[in-house]
Amino acid sequence: MKVAVYARVSSEDQQDRGTIENQLEFARKYCDLHQLNVVEWYKDNGITGTIPLDEREDGARLLKDAYAGQFDLLLVYRLDRLGRSARIILNSVYELEQHGVTIRSMSEPFDTGNPNGRFMLTILAGVADLERETILERMWHGANRAARSGKWLGGIVPYGYRTNQEGYLEVNEDPLPDMDISEADVIRLIYRLITTQRYSTIKVADYLNSLGIPPSYKKDGRQVKRGKRKVNTAGMWSPSRIRNMVVNSTYKGIHHYGKRTTKERNLITREVPAIVSEEVWKQAQQVLKDNHIEADRNSRRKYLLRSLIKCEQCGRTYVGVSYPGSKRKPKAYYVCGGKHAYRGPLNEKCRSKNVPQQWLEDTIWNQCVAFILSPGEAIKELSASMEEKRVVKTDLSSEKELIEQTLQEKDREKQSILDLFRKQLISNQDVELQLQKIRKEQSELRKRINEIDQERQSQSWVDEQFNSAEELLNNLREKLAKEPTFEDRRAIVKSLVKEVRVHTHLNETGRKVATVFVKFSFGNDTLRTDRDSSIQPT
């Protein structure tokens, strides 16, 4: 009888401890004892048992040799060496038996050469599957407990951090090779450039590259996969990399464990050492948002009212679009974003009307200029509006303080639950259920804090830079006197226009008409109907 031996280990750690050699040594003694002639040895080092046999390097070779009839009996140390799930084990056995190969375990009482052995095979395959699921469940609960305590459970450590001997994140203040700056200093520099200098991610990347600061892959000598090969990176900072770092909440001291898994699981939010304050982190998010809104590098035209116009039909923001007009000459319009966004088969695209850019911008700009040059009694409205914004900001600050106090209470609740678990008064399942409820409540509270911060930051720069309406108007008159640039005009419009809403309706002839409602900070609200309806594309 021609005999083959198959051995497998599931991790590099097992490989380093020589586990596969133990299997092979056992097989040699077994074959000597039973006087079996081994014609081939198949070894898969560091291969998980969840991968089908034909997708493993030596597993595929084994099947190929079985098809060629090169052996009659396959020996395995244990059945779980063929696979870690009943489906994979039974599929592997079926394929081998189809080509006359008998499978025998050297440490378990079964042999597929007889009916009792095939029956035992089915039972042992189920046991292997159960064992794997039990191990995974224990590991899952253990990983969750470790994650809540703040341990870093594998994966690339964020730039600016390192793990200590206990496995916890700590800020990396060690200088970079041949430099007087640490990784943590680089993170602080990135946030400072964005918040104080209002740098774009492109400018930040260019600046770091000019300083010769190595990114993480370059610093650690890691490679990236290109197809089937790993290659060195260019060692350059990219704008997308900068953005990903800036929006990473880890740098403000909050890490969300479980975001990258493909399995369904609850996120675990835990505290880690912060490199920047929460205030600086939030300022950076607002700058990124402002830069995105204001960016016009991909636009052929500049739109004065970008991000200020809302559609009353669907609530989306109007965007600038250019269409071919008379004699193919481009003509610009403000078009509802809902006309181009797919929202599912049950939601049609918005049927709102397009508004001519030139007409709408001229209308609003002329009213702003008229007010700046001759405010009259309307200056009282502007003063009241500025004061109203300050009051709203104060109320929002009070609400935020209350929510933050509630979040602290939630943290104390979590600690109480963990204390009960340590005293063995509640089970693992009870802990998971209660912590899941608290995490959901905390998520809602943090969501509201983000809304408050966005609402406060979205307030016009007016109430922060100027103490009175007269001071603001003097500043705006200076801009007008110097033949204002587009950026000046944009600043003036943003300071004086609260909102622009477009309502689309049908006139008596059945044609669509856009009614534009403009709300100004100085109170002279206007209601106008577009006048180019006969030539607008719809």
In whole angstroms, give the CA distance from residue 4 to residue 14: 22
* Predicted confidence (pLDDT) at residue 187 exceeds the cutoff of 90: yes
pLDDT reported for residue 43: 92
Mean pLDDT of 332-360: 77
pLDDT reported for residue 233: 57
Mean pLDDT of 184-200: 89
pLDDT reported for residue 377: 65
pLDDT reported for residue 433: 81
* Predicted confidence (pLDDT) at residue 121 exceeds the cutoff of 50: yes
* Predicted confidence (pLDDT) at residue 215 exceeds the cutoff of 80: yes
Confidence of residue 344 (pLDDT cuts 50, 70, 90): very low
Confidence of residue 431 (pLDDT cuts 50, 70, 90): confident
pLDDT reported for residue 32: 92
* Predicted confidence (pLDDT) at residue 59 exceeds the cutoff of 70: yes
Mean pLDDT of 261-277: 74
User: What domains, with CATH codes, occur in the chain?
Assistant: 2-146 (3.40.50.1390), 161-223+232-293 (3.90.1750.20), 309-529 (no CATH)
Lowest average pLDDT, out of 201-205, 291-295, 490-494, goes to 291-295
Are 310 and 501 in contact, with CB atoms under 8 Å apart?
yes
pLDDT reported for residue 506: 87
Are 391 and 492 in contact, with CB atoms under 8 Å apart?
no
* Predicted confidence (pLDDT) at residue 534 exceeds the cutoff of 60: no
What is the helix (H) or strand (E) element at residue 231, kind and residue range?
Answer: strand 229-232
Lowest average pLDDT, out of 101-115, 132-146, 342-356, goes to 132-146
Q: Which residues pair with 7 in a beta bridge?
A: 43
For 178, residues 6+ apart whose C-beta sits below 8 A from its C-beta are none
| Terminal alpha carbon distance of the chain | 81
Considering only CA atoms, which of 323, 296, 385 is closest in space to residue 538?
Answer: 323
pLDDT reported for residue 370: 84
| DSSP sequence for 257-313 | ETSS-SS----EEEE---SS-HHHHHHHHHHHHHHHHH--TT-SS--TTTTTEEETT
* Predicted confidence (pLDDT) at residue 15 exceeds the cutoff of 60: no
In whole angstroms, give the CA distance from residue 61 to residue 54: 8
Mean pLDDT of 156-171: 85
Mean pLDDT of 60-67: 92
Mean pLDDT of the chain: 78
* Token code pair at residue 368: 């702003």
Q: Which of 10, 92, 200, 521 is catalytic?
A: 10
Confidence of residue 261 (pLDDT cuts 50, 70, 90): low
Confidence of residue 339 (pLDDT cuts 50, 70, 90): confident
42-57 residue pLDDT tens: 999 888 888 889 899 9
142-163 residue pLDDT tens: 556 666 666 776 667 889 998 8
Instruction: Confirm whether 10 is a catalytic residue.
Output: yes
* Token code pair at residue 207: 């600046």
Lowest average pLDDT, out of 26-30, 163-167, 395-399, goes to 395-399
Lowest average pLDDT, out of 13-27, 87-101, 164-178, goes to 13-27
Q: Which range in 222-231, 298-307, 435-444 is most confidently predicted, on average pLDDT?
A: 435-444
